[in-house]
Structure 1
Amino acid sequence: MDLEGIYENIECKGIENTTGPKTQSHHQDEGKDLKHRGSRCLVLITVSLGLICVLLLVFIILQRITITAEKDLIKSYKNTVEEFNQTINSLQDNYTDLMTEKDKLQNKFSSCSHKNMKLETRVKDLTAEKDQLQRSIDSLTRTKLELETRVTSLSEELNKEQSKRG
């Protein structure tokens, strides 16, 4: 259906003559006005649809940019998570190595502590033996002095006896 048919339909159905009979030229002027209004309406609809298309295109482009940025951000997060996981694995390996080394050092410490206790016991035993030997030396030294004194005393007596005899 063409525009003239639409306008004639509108005229016949919606517009009634309230001022009296219309003349042919008046009728033609109204038809031109309706055609002119209709073409303006079509232009407005076309411009509006064009603007909507432009807005949709801008929206799609912005959404695409946002999606690309989010993908890049997700990749960055994945890389960061992967680096963290590698760091965690490395730290866990280091922790395991350190715990093994700690256990070895604790065993060595226990062994050294046991040896130290044995040596301290040996030192106490040797100190006690030294003290006993020192007492023995002191006793023997006193005995020697007593014997030397006695020998000296006996020697003097012998010399006196020999001087008396001779």
Structure 2
Amino acid sequence: MDIESIYENVKCRAVKNTTGPQTQGHGKDEEKDLKHRGSRCLVLMTVSLGLICVVLLVFIILQHITITAERDLMKSYKNTVEEFNQTINSLQDEKHQLQNNFSSLNQKKLELESRVTSLSEELKKEASKQCWVFMSNELKSWSDSRQYCRDRGADLVIINSEEKQRLISSFTAERVWIGLSDTEQEGNMKWVDNSTLKQGFWFKGEPNDYGGNEDCIEMNYETETLNSWNDCSCSDKKKGICEK
């Protein structure tokens, strides 16, 4: 129902309910008042509808913003989860690779240790083939130790290589005589087979012929494994290393 219909109804009711004679001026005033009231109602309704539209628009905008934010948040969360999963997978791959590398290195270590052991045994076997050595069980002078070896079909040991020096050193745990001396001529070191010394394994500062009476050579286990020779008095009592 529009505002003009409302106005006509109100006007008709006013005419029917009027008792007594009405003046023409009074009717016009009432008509103006009704129109004014109708205009006010129309304005109020328009303002109300406008406010409702604004509220709805604000609500729609806020809802859209909220949905968009939630969608972006979910997208970001999904991307973060995917990146995290990728990182975990990458770390697991690296872990497996490191484990494989460790296993490979450990296997190589075992192979090298086995090879070293095998070579060491071969070296000892080869040295045993080249010579058979044993130690006297009595403390004697250099000459008596040599005689001890000779009585058993051997002589004091001759050391003419680094390998043999290390091998003989590994057998000793005390000072022992070897088959080297300069008893015939001072400073002219010779082996018991009368061959001249070519390579020596002297302890630092040796030989020094201390006191002018050090002509026989010992191997001193207390020094380094390689450089352990020392000249001393031939009358000193030591065990000897014999070689067949």
In 2, the alpha carbon distance for the partners of 1:84 and 1:22 equals 93
Q: CA deviation at 1:103?
A: 2.6
- Give ranges in structure 1 of 5+ residues lacking alignment: 127-131, 148-166
Q: What does residue range 22-41 of structure 1 map to in structure 2 within 5 Å?
A: 23-24=22-23, 25-41=25-41
Deviates more, 1:105-114 or 1:55-64: 105-114
Between Structure 1 and Structure 2, the one with more helix by share is: 1
In 2, the alpha carbon distance for the partners of 1:2 and 1:56 equals 26
Q: What does residue range 73-112 of structure 1 map to in structure 2 within 5 Å?
A: 73-108=73-108
Q: What does residue range 1-166 of structure 1 map to in structure 2 within 5 Å?
A: 2-10=2-10, 21=20, 23-24=22-23, 25-108=25-108, 133-135=134-136, 141=145, 144=148
Deviates more, 1:58-67 or 1:103-112: 103-112
**Alpha-carbon distance change, 2 to 48 in structure 1, aligned in 2, over 3 angstroms:** closer
**Alpha-carbon distance change, 11 to 110 in structure 1, aligned in 2, over 3 angstroms:** farther
- Give ranges in structure 2 of 5+ residues lacking alignment: 126-132, 152-244
**Alpha-carbon distance change, 4 to 70 in structure 1, aligned in 2, over 3 angstroms:** closer
Q: Which protein, 1 or 2, shows the higher relative CO under an 8 Å CA cutoff with sep ≥ 6? A: 2
Question: Could you report, residue by residue, the CA deviation over 1:84-105 in whole angstroms, capped at 9, with x for unpaired residues?
Answer: 2221111010011112223334
TM-score by length of structure 1 reads: 0.56
Larger Rg: 1
Aligned residues: percent identity? 55
In 1, the alpha carbon distance for the partners of 2:26 and 2:4 equals 16
TM-score by length of structure 2 reads: 0.41
In 1, the alpha carbon distance for the partners of 2:21 and 2:96 equals 105
Between Structure 1 and Structure 2, the one with more strand by share is: 2
Question: Could you report, residue by residue, the CA deviation over 1:2-46 in whole angstroms, capped at 9, with x for unpaired residues?
Answer: 5343234346679x969x647244344223212211111111111
SS at match of 1:133: strand
In 1, the alpha carbon distance for the partners of 2:79 and 2:94 equals 22
**How many residues are matched?**
136
In 2, the alpha carbon distance for the partners of 1:37 and 1:88 equals 75
Q: CA deviation at 1:143?
A: 6.2
Q: CA deviation at 1:110?
A: 5.2
Contact conserved, 2:136 with 2:148, CA < 8 A, in 1?
A: no
In 1, the alpha carbon distance for the partners of 2:110 and 2:5 equals 111
Amino acid at match of 2:60: I
